[in-house]
Amino acid sequence: MSIISSDISKAIALLSTEELVAIPTETVYGLAGNIFSEKAIKSIFQTKKRPFFNPLIVHIPSVDLLPTIVSYIPEKAERLADAFWPGPLTLVLPKQSTIPDIITAGKDTVAVRIPNHPTTLELLNQLDFPLAAPSANPFGSISPTTAEHVNDYFKDDIKMVLDGGPCQRGIESTIIGFEGDKPIIYRLGSTSIEAIETIVGPINIKNKTEIAPDAPGMLDRHYAPSTLTVLADDISEAIQKYSDKRIGVLAFSKPSDHDAVAFQIVLSESTDLQEAASKLYDALHQLDKQDLDIIIAERFPDIELGKSINDRLQRATVRA
């Protein structure tokens, strides 16, 4: 049974009674609940099978609400918010004491952003509370970029997916924390390092950990298909290596003509990294449904959004 609906009033009613609703953002669909409802937040972790040590992102409709969530805003955080909100950038800042520890995995910082999606901004503006909304997928699985992806995962577990169409950016937000007043990238995402550095200057990256992550998306294994997936610098060489298997290929701009390839998706024939990012997760969902023995994913140019795509592929794959 489909639980997909575009009725915002229905979503408001469910969220106001401590239920979960999957919501669209410009990055991926999120599994949302009232940040002040312990029942709702526990339900997010339980529904996703997400470990409680992995913090959640708080979503707000306006920068005016930021002081109700965080207790201190560094000057460079203000500059980043001015430049990129609403949009795919999350800031990790010292939290107000009113923010429940379950949201922040017991840390004294909280991750917060303003999503750039008209449906969810309308929803947030009509609610009396912010929403916590990690990606609407079982923990570690491919992130969802359509309402149908969420329905496939959770149709028996939640009451509604608020349909906002396909996600335009397709990769999660970039997450930036602060050590002192110095910004640090905790997760590569849909806002490129190059764009961030135009606002705050050179920035360090600290985006991997296996325990007590500072922010979501830092665990080594994440975003993964159920099909064995390998990351290859050279697609042809990898196909030769696995030519006895039923192969799927995820390519950047050029298809493979090798006979061993049973199914393939090219993300951007025009080598447009934003187009490739927007299609990445949907392509992995498609490939995962093809009864393949193996998916071979091509490594991307390590520039701009290519860095974020490679980050996701590295977490979803083993090396060829």
Q: Once rounded to an integer, what is the mean pLDDT over residues 15-22?
A: 98
For the chain, what percentages of helix, strand and coil (3-state, to nearest 5) are there?
A: 30, 20, 45
231 contact partners, CB below 8 Å, separation of at least 6: 297, 299, 310, 313, 314, 317, 318, 319, 320
User: Would you state the pLDDT for residue 22?
Assistant: 98
pLDDT tens column, 115-140: 999 999 999 999 999 999 999 999 98
Residue 109 in 3-state DSSP?
strand
User: Would you state the pLDDT for residue 180?
Assistant: 84
pLDDT band at 209 (very low <50, low <70, confident <90, very high): low
User: Would you state the pLDDT for residue 294?
Assistant: 96
pLDDT tens column, 148-207: 999 999 999 999 999 999 999 999 999 999 998 899 999 999 999 999 999 999 999 986
Q: Once rounded to an integer, what is the mean pLDDT over residues 35-59?
A: 95
Instruction: Decide: pTM greater than 0.85.
Output: yes
Q: Once rounded to an integer, what is the mean pLDDT over residues 303-310?
A: 95
For tokens 């901004």, the residue is: 121
User: Would you state the pLDDT for residue 208?
Assistant: 60
Alpha-carbon distance of 164 to 152, in angstroms, equals 16
User: Would you state the pLDDT for residue 63?
Assistant: 96
Alpha-carbon distance of 129 to 220, in angstroms, equals 32
pLDDT tens column, 231-278: 999 999 999 999 999 999 999 999 999 989 999 999 999 999 999 999
